Structure 1
């Protein structure tokens, strides 16, 4: 072990023992007699400690910067009371020997304040006690009590705001953890300060009682035990008592001031003197002050020269004062427009080239960019939009079986004021326009009236809609319109994209987190499968394929069991996911249709299905169909799905098992929300209801490829 490390360890041990030894010494001072010389040293140290605490309080930027203040205040108060006990013992026991019997410090303070007049000294001490007890201590105690109450009441709201910022991607998990710890520390601090105020108040009362005990007890002891006259006893013991009281009361007054400063302190980027100077050095404040002082200075009978001098000083301060209390002017870009929020001054100045990797790298899995007119929807610290997005993340996470990454919300001046854009990774997956001062009205089945407003398509479902003004709300609701708030439009659009691109949102780190959670209850299963049988990236690929088909992956235990059985077959991730689907389909169906409700099915005509199967066998790359047939097939399925939706049913398309994957890949670009299942995946326990059958001469053109007609590929069988 090096000498430096040895010294460091010894220093840490010494520092750790200093406080316990000091507390034991303070307790000993209350019991054991203390030499006069040592009493003087401790009195001076007490004054030094009080001054240090006061200065630290003055130069703290915020109350939590001096979070040890309540504990330090208790130690300083107990130290001072121990000195009072020690000095009282000496004053009463040795006071008959003269003014220097209790030490030089007590004698000096007593003679300086009394100055030959006992009544004046007693009144001065009384005034100091009143100032400390009635004004400073009482006010600080009240502020501490109110601050503690408000801080505790606001704690849940602050925690929710931190959670909202975390869910919106405005904070990293580490930053959120630090913010939560800071909120908890703030509540603990103000709660401790509420109790610390009682120490100061009790100390002031103790000072009064000790003064009375010293005066009365000293006079009695001097006259009865040491044969002093009442006048002699009063002269000696009053000097010693008032000196002792002042030596204790002045540090108590300093600590009371420090307590009041801490509890009335507002967090800022300046210390107290800097903050006060910044806020009172205002031209508008000092100009009328200078005028009033000048008017008083010319009134006959007043000390004119003094008032005029201070009027001139106020005028000078007004000349050099700040024009207003606002912050510095907002930065602007070279074209005169306000700089983007969060933009640095360096970025706004032309000719600078300070570009860092953080300027071009965006690692957010999901981000929402909004125009400046939509910023109020996000709000300060979490508005309605943030709350809706938080609820959607929770809903999608529960439905899909993994934690959806946080959504980072950013304003973007490149967008139009009412535009928003949703990115999954770096790819733009959706964008549209909303109007924060309007509401989106979507006509219902019984709507007959055409509302005035901005006609648009609903971004989530493509329905005809109109942006109306708030006063049109009763009219819209009376005509069977569904009225949606602007933030709900964005949130619903985001929800659709999260479900659609769930496979792009999960990565190896997320899968490992799911495995770690499962390992707490099934450690043997996890250790036996990953990575011994199947590597992590393969499991991740399988989960991505399942999520892209809207299959939840919450039952990770069954997925790993299935993967373990399929591992010896050396399948690809897509084939492995296809083999796992039958056991996981019930998780999807129970989210779509209640378990006691018949499952709506859309089937294919037997002739059409056989044609598709033959086309798949003849072409390894996928299904080849006539272009007209493919278009008509998509339209027929789309109409059937819309008809079922109009009846309040979410239908599932059923095809042959060997056709399922190719058919699903074909429909995905045209009908991304369509659910395609194989007949082998249909649970035997579920009741079904066929709501439509696609095929037949009445629905589709001839099921063959005419000569010269361009074929269309229907999803490769990959």
Structure 2
């Protein structure tokens, strides 16, 4: 009783569900129909319906494969191939049953479809029918299916081999801020689906090959079985039995093999197509009949053959004339398009150079950031390509805006014909910062220290950090990865170099205009806070200098509200820009420590010896960064010694000094130690997990 009520409730839920549709149940229903055909005897008219459905299904499959622009648009094709093969085999079993049971009654005993294919298509001659059937099977088995299977096998291998590289490219774009998490998940799913599709196609092609072999065996069994049944059971003569049963068998084989040939062709189209924005028909026509020279030469060759005696001259010469007309039409179309394009360019150039008066718009201002590219590198800014420099630069600017707190200026890119082909330059306010080389058609293999075997003797320096590297062809990518090299393409190289330059010069790129735009942005979030901030509390010039001081020491200005509130609270006590910057650093101490130490549990620091601190306090001038040469030399040498000795122990170089010394020592030491972080004791605060790993200047007395 319990099971009855449970079943009743399930049926009720199924009726009430809006998510169940006919396409959800189509697969199980089709499978049940195929099994029914194999087990239950079917009347001839139902068999006609199924054979017609099989033909229609094969036509739909090949049309879908022709009109799709990508293989993943028909990702269910391997499963469709399996079901269509099972459908044909089920029809073969059902037709074999009815042929052997009712074949003695005449050629129409197995239905009109089999009768039509057995009489109309082969003229009622079973010998011709058998030959046509064998030819169709050979074409399907030896040519189409074998070729499609080989292409699917190679495609599956390359898809699987390329998966790690595609996944790394997606991760790189995600880390660079070019795409979001949702887009990254979508791309990863596409890569996985592509690999699954080609892997499935590699196995699904065996269904068609097995179907072709089964068709030959079924034909032989039907002919032999028909002769035995007709002669022994129904008393037909050998000639009558051979004529009736063989024609029915040939008709049955043809009505199954023609859809099989169509579906095999669809499989070949799916695995051999190259993914473009066009379908297969548009792609073939646009590439075959696009060059007038090729059409003209083809017409000349055909015309010469048409003049040879004994050849079908009229047909050949008619096609020659058609090809000449087509070549003339294509040539005229291309000429008109080129003339129109030249006219448009000339018209625009006249407007820009002759019709316009000279104005202040012709004055060229220096770009904050600029890139000049050699001739061969201009292709890295091609917007039609998925991996181009413009997309990566947008990602760099977006990531800096999110992490640092202001939007860097637009990067101006131009082609410089005077540069070597593979050279690029990066400019900062018109000043050349770097000049390096990147080869567009190659990859840079970087030796990060884990290389097992050297790939080539032609070693160059990686342009950003100076690590040993070499330029390799794309064919050596997998080999280089296996040996431990880190691979980077030229687009990513230029983008990474630009990102490095921007991060090192953020304070140079942050101008008064950026400061004003930042205030405008804050006014939308906290209008009351900035209502009288400029100029009543502080001038825009002083505010700009404070933010630049923070950026010089790589302190993000994202928490701009805290910065403004700190200025408002302390401006009456101290209106000096340097001192206000120190107050802001104390307010931002937690974020500064988090940026430096990240997730480290212990903060490992270096401190100055008390005597050295006192000497420095007595010798430096408050408003200058001058220090006695001998003392400066000693400080640099001892700090260098400490960094080298404690390199393994401490990842980050943190020097904690008195608050009054912090600004001076930070500016003094930064040119010598690029990654040093000079913090004051007030910025450390009440942190409990501090570990002093070295005291700078502890041997000062010993030296004396």
**Given the two structures, how large is their TM-score scaled by the length of structure 1?**
0.61
Aligned to 2:296: 287
Aligned to 1:432: 433
Indicate if the aligned counterparts of 2:303 and 2:317 stay in contact, CA closer than 8 A: yes
Residue number among 691, 696, 699 corresponding to 1:689 in the alignment = 696
Correspondences of 1:261-660 after superposition (within 5 Å)? 261-281=269-289, 282-321=291-330, 370-373=371-374, 376=377, 412-413=413-414, 418-420=424-426, 432-436=433-437, 494-495=499-500, 498=503, 578=586, 606=614, 609=617, 625=623, 630-633=624-627, 649=643, 655-657=657-659, 659=660
**1:576–1:642 Cα change, 3 Å:** closer
Question: 1: CA distance between counterparts of 2:332 and 2:341?
Answer: 20
**1:330–1:155 Cα change, 3 Å:** farther
Question: 1: CA distance between counterparts of 2:50 and 2:603?
Answer: 81
Indicate if the aligned counterparts of 1:59 and 1:272 stay in contact, CA closer than 8 A: yes
Q: Give the Å deviation of 1:404.
A: 12
Q: Give the Å deviation of 1:285.
A: 1.4
**1:116–1:676 Cα change, 3 Å:** closer
Aligned to 1:179: 187
Indicate if the aligned counterparts of 1:371 and 1:419 stay in contact, CA closer than 8 A: yes
Q: Give the Å deviation of 1:249.
A: 0.9
Aligned to 1:243: 251
**1:106–1:247 Cα change, 3 Å:** same
Aligned to 1:364: none
Indicate if the aligned counterparts of 2:609 and 2:698 stay in contact, CA closer than 8 A: yes
Deviations 1:51-90, CA, capped at 9 Å, x for gaps: 1111111112222222121111111111111111111110
Indicate if the aligned counterparts of 2:37 and 2:91 stay in contact, CA closer than 8 A: yes
Query: Does 2:167 match 1:159?
Result: yes
**1:37–1:330 Cα change, 3 Å:** same
Q: Give the Å deviation of 1:169.
A: 4.4
Matched position secondary structure for 1:412:
strand
Aligned to 2:200: 192
Q: Give the Å deviation of 1:180.
A: 2.2
Residue number among 235, 239, 249 corresponding to 1:231 in the alignment = 239
- Identify unmatched segments of 5+ residues in structure 2: 1-13, 353-367, 440-462, 467-488, 511-547, 557-579, 645-652, 685-689
Residue number among 123, 127, 132 corresponding to 1:115 in the alignment = 123
**1:66–1:408 Cα change, 3 Å:** farther
Indicate if the aligned counterparts of 1:151 and 1:190 stay in contact, CA closer than 8 A: yes
Question: 2: CA distance between counterparts of 1:174 and 1:634?
Answer: 58
Indicate if the aligned counterparts of 2:373 and 2:415 stay in contact, CA closer than 8 A: no
Q: Give the Å deviation of 1:228.
A: 1.0
Deviations 1:406-428, CA, capped at 9 Å, x for gaps: 99997712999643257xxxxx8
Question: 2: CA distance between counterparts of 1:77 and 1:90?
Answer: 20
**1:378–1:306 Cα change, 3 Å:** closer
Question: 2: CA distance between counterparts of 1:89 and 1:245?
Answer: 14
- Identify unmatched segments of 5+ residues in structure 1: 1-5, 338-346, 352-366, 423-427, 439-458, 464-484, 506-543, 553-571, 616-622, 694-718
Matched position secondary structure for 1:433:
strand
The answer to which structure has the higher helix fraction is 2
Indicate if the aligned counterparts of 1:53 and 1:258 stay in contact, CA closer than 8 A: yes
**1:377–1:685 Cα change, 3 Å:** farther
Matched position secondary structure for 1:240:
helix
Aligned to 2:524: none
Question: 2: CA distance between counterparts of 1:172 and 1:585?
Answer: 28
Indicate if the aligned counterparts of 1:369 and 1:412 stay in contact, CA closer than 8 A: yes
Matched position secondary structure for 1:137:
helix
Q: Give the Å deviation of 1:23.
A: 1.8
Indicate if the aligned counterparts of 2:606 and 2:656 stay in contact, CA closer than 8 A: no
Question: 1: CA distance between counterparts of 2:464 and 2:611?
Answer: 26
Question: 1: CA distance between counterparts of 2:656 and 2:411?
Answer: 42
Matched position secondary structure for 1:371:
strand
**1:639–1:334 Cα change, 3 Å:** farther
Question: 1: CA distance between counterparts of 2:164 and 2:552?
Answer: 38
Q: Give the Å deviation of 1:254.
A: 0.7
After superposition, the CA RMSD in angstroms is 5.7
Indicate if the aligned counterparts of 2:604 and 2:654 stay in contact, CA closer than 8 A: no
Count of residues in Structure 1 that have an aligned counterpart in Structure 2: 537
Residue number among 36, 52, 59 corresponding to 1:44 in the alignment = 52
Correspondences of 1:16-31 after superposition (within 5 Å)? 16-31=24-39
Query: Does 2:104 match 1:101?
Result: no
Q: Give the Å deviation of 1:47.
A: 0.5
Correspondences of 1:46-125 after superposition (within 5 Å)? 46-125=54-133
Q: Give the Å deviation of 1:652.
A: 6.8
Question: 2: CA distance between counterparts of 1:305 and 1:489?
Answer: 62
Question: 2: CA distance between counterparts of 1:602 and 1:290?
Answer: 96
Matched position secondary structure for 2:437:
coil
Question: 1: CA distance between counterparts of 2:598 and 2:37?
Answer: 75
Question: 2: CA distance between counterparts of 1:24 and 1:188?
Answer: 27
Deviations 1:160-188, CA, capped at 9 Å, x for gaps: 22333344444444433332222211111
Question: 2: CA distance between counterparts of 1:275 and 1:8?
Answer: 47
More moved, 647-656 vs 9-18: 647-656
Question: 2: CA distance between counterparts of 1:601 and 1:429?
Answer: 44
**1:139–1:635 Cα change, 3 Å:** same
Question: 2: CA distance between counterparts of 1:102 and 1:680?
Answer: 98
Question: 2: CA distance between counterparts of 1:254 and 1:583?
Answer: 67
Question: 2: CA distance between counterparts of 1:303 and 1:256?
Answer: 34
Aligned to 2:43: 35
Correspondences of 1:208-219 after superposition (within 5 Å)? 208-219=216-227
